[in-house]
Amino acid sequence: MDTLRLTVNDELVETRDLPPSTTLLKFLRERLGLCGAKEGCAEGDCGACTVVVQDRRLDGTPCFRAVNSCLVLLPMMQGRRVYTVEALQQNGSPHVIQEAMAKHQGSQCGYCTPGVVMSLVEATYRDDLREGWQLDDQLAGNICRCTGYRAIREVAQELASSRPADAFAERLHRELEPRRLSYERAGKRYFSPGSLKELFAILAAHPNARIVAGGTDLALEVTKRFREPEALVSVEAVPELRRVERTAAGWDVGAAVTLTELQETLEASVTPLEKMLRVFASRQIRNRATVGGNLCNASPIGDLAPVMLALGAELSLASAGGTRRIPIERFFLGYRKTALEPGEILSTVHLPRVPEGVRASSYKVSKRRELDISTVAMGAFVRLSGDGTASDVRLGYGGMAATPARAHGTEAALAGKPWTEASVRAATEALEHDFQPISDARGSAWYRMAVAKNLLVGFYFETGEGPVALDPRPTSTIHLRARGA
């Protein structure tokens, strides 16, 4: 059995006596006495626990990633370098971010502030922050109940991508350690294999072990339902699952690629995906959550699925015996139930290129625009023939049924018809037969159905304006360039 080893604020920390479900936040606060990171919600919805982890982008560029330490299980940090707010001061002098927060009145009660500061660490040392919406996106995972955010925004504007060549920046270039791990404590196990082969061997030996990737969903079982998983197998350090490859048909995305990595690699080339990722949870969550995780938890309100359903993605499911490939709509069998067999994992998402002449977009409606869960999400794809009739219609919906699902009846109502406002409006009636949504805290059945219909209408108008231009600060998920005028 291995020892847990990680580096916190440049000091090596080792432990063998903590259960693998110990969260990084608990470890920092209770074991190391580093109380800068706070617990505000224990579910990744407030950001008060934010810390940064040294990482490399898929292209090898060094970077810091802000993460919610409340949703990180300690073994996930094996071999990693973690930095907390306590690491920022140099010889008793505050870091430029800390000074800026004080100067701009960025704190009032101060409880969210260490988390905000650590999100700003990522922002400061990122090299790709240029637009205002990106700054809001960087900070959407940090709830501040006091300031009203204006001051925090000013700090972000001042510092984003300023990349000071200071002592903290040097830490970007430290060596990363191997992350393979086999850990056990009081009968609870955590494995982090270093290859697919090893992964399948572990699954064979521990048939009840559960696969974990970023853990942003699974950790809630620990922090909210107080359960301790018996055995977890991480896919984080499996290189075969960490690649994005360009193919003739499109892209092959490894299941353990994070959503941030997906954004960095693909976003500009697949507009519906980019659009969805802009309103997908928060930066901290996307820095941990993976493509495979979001699909495999098979939540009816997972935001990738509607887009993937519309784009016609296919999935490779791998096991020790080989690999099979299925269209994504055959993957979701029921509420949180997938087509994965025992011993089988999702290895690759095959994402086709969006062909010329196709109209495609994605939508997400929620009570709050950022850092919220879908009330209704939709991915839409329609190919138009030369005569303007619709062929190849795919509408993927989330939040409308027990699984993410295609609106087959509505698709049929549209296929072969002229792509006009009249036929689109007429087809929305078919949604009533495709779905019987529920009422819950996020919205009523009436609202879900009304929005599902209106999204289709909105799709017609949005894509009718030509290629979708993403609004940097949209009022609505439907980006009407001329704002409908």
**Span 81-110, contacts to other proteins by CB under 8 A:** 84-86, 88-89, 94, 97-99, 101-103, 105-110
CB of 201 to other proteins, least distance (A): 32
Q: Is 478 in the site for other proteins (CB under 8 A)?
A: yes
Which residues are paired to 14 by β-bridges? Answer: 5
Query: Toward other proteins, which CB reaches closer, 56 or 367?
Result: 367
How far apart are CB 381 and other proteins at their closest, in Å? 19
- From the CB of 115, what's the least distance to other proteins, in Å? 9
Query: Residue 315: in which H helix or E strand, if any?
Result: strand 314-319
Any contact of residue 315 with other proteins (CB under 8 A)? Answer: no
Q: Is position 457 an interface residue for other proteins (rule: CB under 8 A)?
A: yes
Percent helix, strand and coil across the chain, each to the nearest 5: 35, 25, 45
Rounded to whole angstroms, how far apart are CA atoms 330 and 314?
Answer: 9
Q: Is 469 in the site for other proteins (CB under 8 A)?
A: no
Distance CA 315, CA 81 (A): 33
- In this structure, the number of other CB atoms found within 10 A of the CB of residue 433 comes to 12
Window 31 to 90, contacts with other proteins (CB under 8 A):
33-43, 45-46, 48, 84-86, 88-89
The smaller minimum CB distance to other proteins, of residues 1 and 485, is found at 485
Subset of 212-241 contacting other proteins (CB under 8 A)? 224, 226
How far apart, in whole angstroms, are the C-alpha atoms of residue 478 and residue 463? 10
Q: Is 112 in the site for other proteins (CB under 8 A)?
A: yes
Q: With contact defined as beta carbons under 8 Å apart, do 188 and 144 qualify? A: no
CB of 165 to other proteins, least distance (A): 21
Q: Which of 25, 67, 71, 144 binds other proteins (CB under 8 A)?
A: 144
Within positions 337 to 376, which residues make up the interface with other proteins, using CB under 8 A?
A: 365, 367-373, 375
Q: Quick one: 287 or 348, whose CB is closer to other proteins?
A: 287
Nearer to other proteins, 131 or 245 (CB): 131
Out of 57, 111, 243, 392, the residue judged to bind other proteins by CB under 8 A: 111
Q: Which helix (H) or strand (E) holds 293?
A: helix 291-296
Q: Which residues contact 84 (CB under 8 A, 6 or more apart)?
A: 8, 9, 28, 34, 36, 37, 51, 114, 118
> Under the phi-then-psi rule, with left for phi > 0, alpha for psi from -120 to 50, and beta for the rest, what region is 211?
beta
CB of 30 to other proteins, least distance (A): 8
Structure tokens at 336: 């949180």
Interface residue with other proteins among 63, 129, 143, 218 (CB under 8 A) is 143
Q: Strand ranges (DSSP E) for 137-288?
A: 181-185, 188-192, 210-212, 231-234, 244-246, 250-254
Contact 135, 160 (CB under 8 A): yes
Best CA proximity match to 121, nearest among 88, 153, 78: 88
**Least distance (Å) between residue 28 CB and other proteins:** 11
Q: Is 474 in the site for other proteins (CB under 8 A)?
A: yes
| Total residues interacting with other proteins, rule: CB under 8 A | 88
Residues 156-195 that bind other proteins (CB under 8 A): none
